[in-house]
Amino acid sequence: MSKKKLIAGNWKMNGSLAANQTLVQALVQGLREPDCDVVVCPPAVYLQQVQQLLAGQTAIGLGAQDVSQHDNGAFTGDASAAMLKDFGVRYAIVGHSERRQHQGETDVHVAIKVKRALAAGITPIVCVGETLREREEGMTEFIVKRQLSAVIHLNGHCISEIVVAYEPVWAIGTGKTATPEQAQAVHAVLRAQLKAATDQADRVRILYGGSMNATNAAELLRQPDIDGGLIGGAALKAPDFLTIVAAAA
């Protein structure tokens, strides 16, 4: 497949002005011109700082960790797609399992957020994934297809513009990782679902998230339907993140 792989770093609720500067400078120095697309997603309060740190280079794009389902108005704490665009944001993580779990986001909320991001010219990274109980009960395929189906239903032919990230909930921050075979099996299901929805399905990159790290990245990224990674903990350590980017390239 000719499309470039994508490595996205989700910093989650981590960072400080000093730590961010050290991390981004190390990434910019270490990357030069990577053979894959690279994006970092800092907390919203640091978007302006990271935008400035990334100025003048093209190797790393800026992403947000969420986007509001509303355009503007009385939604305290939200940031709209247009606001993110003001800061040069090119990607937005949507529907991460932590937001589904802690903020009560539903499949419908996620689908609307995808629509808002696309309308603003921001590429949504749409997260899907099952819990350990759902996997043990044989529900994996049903869950991820239901989650992606809501996004397809609301966004129609625009679906070719999204990125999908498969993140098994049981493997996020736990140190457990789906085997390359387990991950590839779910990615193949998602690819087939996208193919049924659009003739541009091969353009859609499907990332694996869930404890991808410097040690296991190369093996995961060799799978035919794994087009990159959504990286959590390892994205906060420049050497580890650079190793993953090198594996993708």
Hey, which residues are catalytic here?
96, 167
As a whole number of angstroms, the distance between CA 231 and CA 164 comes to 13
Residue in the structure block whose two tokens are 């690279």: 38
Cβ pair 62, 40 in contact under 8 A: yes
As a whole number of angstroms, the distance between CA 63 and CA 40 comes to 6
Q: Exposure string (b/e) for 1-18, b if CB count within 10 Å is 16 or more?
A: eeebbbbbbbbbebbeee
15-22 long-range contacts (CB < 8 A, ≥24 apart) are 15/42, 15/43, 15/46, 15/236, 17/46, 17/49, 20/46, 20/49, 20/50, 20/53, 21/49, 21/53
Q: Give CA 129 to chain center in angstroms.
A: 12
As a whole number of angstroms, the distance between CA 248 and CA 134 comes to 30
Q: Give CA 79 to chain center in angstroms.
A: 18
Cβ pair 91, 63 in contact under 8 A: yes
